[in-house]
Homo-oligomer: A and B are copies of this chain.
Amino acid sequence: MRETPSNLTLKPGDTIGILGGGQLGRMIALAAARLGLRCHIYAPEAANPAYDVAAKYTVGRYDDEAALRGFASSVQCVTYEFENVPAKTVEILSSRVPVRPGAKALAVCQDRVLEKQLARDLGATTADFVSINNLEELVQGIATIGTPSILKTRRFGYDGKGQFVIRKAEDAATAWAAVAGSPCILESFVPFLREVSVVAARGLDGIVKAFPVTENEHRDQILRRSIVPATLHPVTARSAIDIATKIATALDYVGVFAVEFFVVGENEAETVYVNEIAPRVHNSGHWTLDGASTSQFEQHVRAISGLPLGATAPTAAKVEMTNLIGDDVLDWHSLMAEPDTQLHLYGKGEPRPGRKMGHVTRFFGR
């Protein structure tokens, strides 16, 4: 079979291009290195955590066609560490080199309405939602969905940014002013007991392998802690993984992705609601770096390189990953001295409030 962009596989010595140079790009590059693959980072920032561990980096804007063409010609495959890659960037690169995951997955995951609609179409449960394009639709939406509900921009939201809680119908105008007229989604409030996520990979051959379901705790809308295994009935866990598998298959997805779920109800009534799909390696999968047979970063590298996916079993009875946010990182020295603990620092400069500076993984029963 002739190699085409859609089935091209990488071999040791080849170069992966990564859009974005933050900690996720850095950890992808470190995983690629273990497999003898080189990385070339492309990002607009002059300094970036990933630059320090990559064979090459290019500082360029995501709309700089000439720079993107040069980048594409130096790599065998392109991936990205963030979901807000402009469609046009992917279009420019795709004509020259495989971009994995592809444009279709990116388009759906960049839009909360398309994302939830896909989940619904595949038979998954989600919050009730309506698409909102103006104040009238918002007023109508609140009447349909009720309160409390949440207005979110359809695009470019992360870590709780671009989200507004609507407690009563009268909040409509204030909320609409706050989103400054961006296309939005209005979602019913889901009275969840906990949040969980499925981090999984789909290979070029269509095989999907999921890591065990992870339980996630947020603080100030930023992931604070992930615990494996999640407190979840095995049947519910199986169902969450099934939904993630269906989503990846429907998107013809290649690479690692995460599906975030709300857990509602207990025992027989336990149900998972799809909340978000992230078309990339995910913070709730960082525990796999030390706690699973294959890390999510190596799994992503394997998937986008067209190589066989690795095993996803945890290597300890319980694994707990805690983000070091802002000044948390100042404890690095004592964290390093803790037994059964692995510290990861991202090589960022100053700790600022809300900035993810590193994470620490703790093992129980290893």
Q: Which residues of A contact B (CB under 8 A)?
A: 12-13, 26, 29-30, 33-38, 51-55, 293, 302, 307-308, 310-311, 315, 329, 332-333, 336-337, 339-340, 342-349, 358, 366
A344/B34 contact (C-beta < 8 A), A55-B52, A336-B310 known: yes
Q: Hey, which chain B residues are within 8 Å of A339, CB to CB?
A: 293, 311
Q: Hey, which chain B residues are within 8 Å of A36, CB to CB?
A: 332, 345-348, 358
Which of B30, B293, B348, B358 is close to A53, meaning CB atoms less than 8 Å apart?
B30
Taking a contact as CB atoms under 8 Å apart, the answer to whether B52 and A33 are in contact is: yes
Minimum Cβ distance to chain B for residue A315 (Å): 6
A52 to B33, CA, bound (A): 8
Which of B302, B311, B344 is close to A340, meaning CB atoms less than 8 Å apart?
B311
Integer count of this chain's copies in the complex: 2
Minimum Cβ distance to chain B for residue A294 (Å): 8
Minimum Cβ distance to chain B for residue A249 (Å): 21
Taking a contact as CB atoms under 8 Å apart, the answer to whether A12 and B345 are in contact is: yes
A346 to B34, CA, bound (A): 7
Q: Hey, which chain B residues are within 8 Å of A12, CB to CB?
A: 329, 332, 345, 347
**Which residue of B is nearest A289, CB measured?**
B34
**Which residue of B is nearest A366, CB measured?**
B315
Q: Hey, which chain B residues are within 8 Å of A311, CB to CB?
A: 339-340
Minimum Cβ distance to chain B for residue A102 (Å): 23
**Which residue of B is nearest A343, CB measured?**
B35
Minimum Cβ distance to chain B for residue A351 (Å): 10
Q: Hey, which chain B residues are within 8 Å of A340, CB to CB?
A: 293, 311
Minimum Cβ distance to chain B for residue A23 (Å): 10
**Which residue of B is nearest A56, CB measured?**
B52
Taking a contact as CB atoms under 8 Å apart, the answer to whether B13 and A33 are in contact is: no
**Which residue of B is nearest A332, CB measured?**
B12
Contacts A12-B347, A36-B346, A302-B336 aside, 10 further interface pairs with beta carbons under 8 A come to A12-B329, A30-B34, A33-B52, A34-B345, A36-B347, A37-B347, A293-B339, A293-B342, A308-B333, A308-B336
